Amino acid sequence: MGYYDEDDNQFRRRKSQSKSGYFISGLIGSIIGALIVLLLTGNFTGGNGQNPITNQHNETSNLTRNVSLDVTTDVTKAVEKTADAVIGITNMQGSNFFNEETEAGTGSGVIYKKEKGKAFIVTNNHVVEGASTLEVTLTDGTKTKAKLLGSDVWTDLAVIQIDDKGVDTVAEFGNSDKLKSGEPVIAIGNPLGLNFSGSVTQGIISGLNRTIPIDVNSDGIEDWNAEVIQTDAAINPGNSGGALVNISGQVIGINSMKIAESSVEGIGLSIPINYAIPIIQDLEAHGKVKRAYMGTSLRSLNEVTSYQQDETLNLPAKVKEGVVIAGVEPGSPAEQAGLREYDVIVELDGKAIPDVPTLRRHLYAEKKIGDTMKVKFYRNGKAQTVEMTLAEADLQ
């Protein structure tokens, strides 16, 4: 038996209504919250306009989907423009018992011109040196015999020629005088042989107007100072003769040497194309570089003992640098100018000459056949000056 009261009944109705209101309000709040989360996370439509429930399997399959990209950058454009003009060169020499030719080395070359059914290629002298046969491999794998037109040991440049059949790409020369340190460059060549043909490495110009001492005849004495571009683009054996290319796909250097020391990394060297062009033109036209010459054999003063300097050359104590004339060719410009054995040259055209490489650089790079050159020298301790008219000759 209980008590029934109207107020109590109304209380229960209000309580029941209150519970229902709380439930409905909570349900609506939960739905709104879920919708906000789904919208924020992109899962309301599966992130791609699809239902999130039916898209669960699709999201899993997307993880294994192959994606094809067509990437085009300034670097890829530069490589595409020039790569087919960089070819492989095999140096063949006859050296075995049956006098059969064997591969003596490989390198790279750059096709720079097509004319009258022929294609012309610049490479390094050391790539073609001593070859009985030269074989060129184009980028499509075609092999063809090449003819050596000329080479120059001092600049390490050579020009060879092939028939232009199958040659579709010719490199464009840029302006190496306009290069800047930090400018991006690309090296293209065949490092470690033709199995790595068409290899591309990227770097920057690390330094300009570098000079590297070169021992031309491997006698341990520096004969020449090579002018080079320094880059950190990887240049390895086989890259020699290949192209150093700017971001426009223009050849601005011919890769030549790499300092190979365990303590040195990232120093590649390339011959500036502006320096190479007149050499290339001479080799193509004449088979050699037409240079002015003096007609003397030379030794740097720092290679002469102090006893010989005092007893034979009779030099003043203040003379510490110069070039000793070890011999004079009959009828040469030096003889006609009155120079003799044991004269010590200290200046050419007013410029100090401390050693043989500096003398050769002045003579070969700054003077032409027929030019007049002023020579200051010491003979028996006394300074004298003469003028000589330079003549043409082969390498000195």
Catalytic residue among 126, 151, 197, 282: 126
Pairing of strands 101-115, 118-123: antiparallel
61 catalytic per annotation:
no
H helical segments located in the chain: 6-41, 56-62, 74-82, 125-128, 273-286, 306-308, 333-337, 356-366
Distances (CA, A) of 180 to 201, 228, 246: 19, 14, 11
Supply the DSSP symbol for 365.
Answer: H
Whether residue 236 contacts residue 203, with contact meaning beta carbons closer than 8 Å, is answered with no
- Residues 6+ positions from 345 with CB-CB distance below 8 Å: 322, 323, 324, 325, 353, 359, 375, 376, 377
Residue 47 CB neighbours (<10 A): 13
Residue 216 CB neighbours (<10 A): 16
Supply the DSSP symbol for 83.
Answer: G
CA torsion sign, 62 to 68 to 70 to 75?
positive
270 catalytic per annotation:
no
Catalytic residue among 152, 156, 232, 282: 156
240 catalytic per annotation:
yes
Q: If we measure between CA atoms, which residue out of 371, 382, 379 comes closest to residue 348?
A: 371
Catalytic residue among 108, 151, 176, 240: 240
**224 vs 221: CA distance, rounded Å:** 9
**207 vs 230: CA distance, rounded Å:** 5
**181 vs 210: CA distance, rounded Å:** 12
271 burial via Cβ count (<10 Å: 0-12, 13-18, 19+)? buried
Catalytic site residues? 126, 156, 240
